[in-house]
């Protein structure tokens, strides 16, 4: 069983995910920031203009970083995309069509203590749920009820 575990203080944890439908070309982003005692500090989900699931993942990470940076200088980022974690850890900027996103992420994280790690989809369920809801936006009260029920 794969579970999410809170970070040690003073770290905050950022889990993000992107969703992309090749059939409809719709994309969404989602994520949440949690503190060292596991409390939810920030969450988001929204549609995004992305041309691939990888770009949706990058856009979700940028949005999540904006939120996490308001809360801490120590950010532990967990992603269920092993390819993205590998790229972020390598120092490379990736393919030409995504370099501007990667350069922005590098700039955002340059003055912070940041860890990147892979988490299996089962441990990233909350961010996965939010990203899926970003593709098809729901009214806020419906989204909150769905989060409470875990559906």
Tell me: the pLDDT tens digits for 63-100? 999 999 999 999 999 999 999 999 999 988 888 889 99
Residue-wise pLDDT tens digits, 50-68: 999 999 999 999 999 999 9
Taking domain 12-149, whether its CATH number is 3.30.420.10 is answered by yes
Cβ atoms 84, 54 nearer than 8 A: yes
What is the pLDDT at residue 141? 55
What is the pLDDT at residue 147? 55
Residue-wise pLDDT tens digits, 11-30: 999 999 999 999 999 999 99
Q: For the chain, what are the domain ranges?
A: 12-149
Residue-wise pLDDT tens digits, 102-134: 999 999 999 999 999 999 988 888 999 899 888
What is the pLDDT at residue 151? 47
Please tell me the pTM assigned to this model: 0.87
């Amino acid at each position: 069983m794969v579970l999410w575990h809170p970070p040690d203080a003073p770290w905050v944890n950022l889990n993000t995910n992107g969703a992309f439908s090749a059939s409809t070309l719709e994309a969404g982003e989602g994520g949440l920031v949690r503190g060292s005692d596991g409390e939810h500090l920030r969450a988001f989900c929204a549609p995004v203009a992305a041309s691939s699931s990888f770009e949706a993942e990058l856009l979700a990470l940028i949005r999540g970083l904006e939120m996490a940076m308001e809360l801490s200088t120590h950010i532990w980022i967990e992603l269920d995309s092993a390819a993205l974690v590998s790229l972020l850890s390598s120092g490379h900027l990736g393919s030409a069509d995504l370099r501007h996103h990667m350069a922005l992420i590098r700039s955002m994280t340059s003055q912070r203590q940041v860890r990147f790690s892979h988490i299996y989809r089962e441990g990233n369920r909350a961010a996965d749920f939010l990203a899926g809801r970003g593709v098809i936006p729901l009214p806020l009260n419906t989204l909150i009820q769905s989060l409470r029920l875990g559906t």
